């Protein structure tokens, strides 16, 4: 089963949200410093949310008998791979390029960036558990449908954990980074 202890449940410290008060989320799109690069970054986050939801919903359909075994296994392989591969690539890019750029622009937010980097490490552990369970489920689709059904329950639990993790982490990441970008006219 998935370790929920890996999910940071506490919000960002208030001092890491001070620019958010000056640049509230509902005003981002209209801000003159809101550029395509930021829009694409936010779109990637939305894709991660959608993939996490899709993987959870597919597991529920399979467990409820509304999705055939091979169809579920194929979708789990395709969308599970897309989620894990793209999250690893995205977070690696953030840790090595994006966060250093934000830190250089405004080092007063480094404590928040460190929280987000720790989230990336913790999410790697969650994704590892999901990957192992998803791979077992896919293999069992050819070997033992009863065992596959049981393992799909574990995939569902992992998917719920991923969704909860992404909900907290991505919102905090956006609320920290976008105001820095707007304030310092970055990524234009």
* pLDDT score at 81: 98
- The reported pTM is 0.93
Residue (of 130, 136, 124, 123) closest to 156 by Cα position = 130
Long-range contacts of 132-136 (CB under 8 A, 24+ apart): 133/158, 134/76, 134/77, 134/80, 134/158
Task: Quickly count: other Cβ atoms within 10 Å of residue 38's Cβ.
Answer: 21
Q: Which of 154, 155, 160, 149 has the alpha carbon at shortest distance from 67? A: 149
What's the CA gap between 169 and 12, in Å, rounded? 10
Q: What is the DSSP letter of 9?
A: -
What is the reported pLDDT for 2? 44
Determine the pLDDT at residue 7. Answer: 77
Long-range CB contacts (within 8 A, 24+) of 33-37:
33/181, 33/182, 33/183, 33/185, 33/186, 33/188, 34/178, 34/181, 34/182, 35/187, 35/188, 37/187, 37/188
How many whole angstroms separate alpha carbon 34 and alpha carbon 99?
A: 17
Distance of CA 140 to the CA centre of its chain: 27
Is residue 109 within 8 Å of residue 176, measured between CB atoms?
A: yes
Q: What is the pLDDT of residue 11?
A: 86
What is the per-residue pLDDT for 188? Answer: 55
Cα 136 from Cα 148, distance rounded (Å): 8
pLDDT tens per residue, the chain (188 residues)?
Answer: 445 556 788 889 999 999 999 999 999 999 999 999 999 999 999 999 999 999 999 999 999 999 999 999 999 999 999 999 999 999 999 999 999 999 999 999 999 999 999 999 999 999 999 999 999 999 999 999 999 999 999 999 999 999 999 999 999 999 999 999 999 999 75
């Amino acid at each position: 089963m998935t370790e929920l202890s890996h999910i940071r449940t506490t919000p960002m410290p208030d001092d890491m949200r001070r620019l958010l008060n000056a640049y509230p989320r509902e005003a981002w799109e209209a801000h003159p410093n809101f550029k395509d690069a930021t829009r694409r970054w936010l779109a990637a986050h939305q894709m991660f949310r959608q993939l996490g939801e899709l993987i959870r919903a597919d597991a529920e359909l399979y467990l409820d008998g509304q999705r055939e075994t091979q169809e579920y296994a194929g979708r789990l392989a395709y969308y599970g791979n897309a989620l894990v591969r793209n999250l690893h690539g995205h977070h690696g890019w953030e840790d090595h390029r994006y966060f250093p750029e934000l830190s250089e622009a405004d080092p007063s937010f480094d404590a928040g960036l460190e929280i987000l980097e720790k989230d990336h490490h913790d999410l790697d552990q969650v994704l590892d558990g999901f990957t192992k369970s998803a791979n077992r489920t896919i293999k069992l689709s050819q070997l033992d449908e009863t065992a596959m059904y049981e393992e799909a329950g574990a995939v569902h639990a992992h998917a719920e954990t991923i969704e909860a993790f992404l909900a907290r982490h991505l919102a905090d990441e956006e609320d920290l980074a976008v105001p820095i970008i707007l304030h310092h006219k970055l990524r234009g």
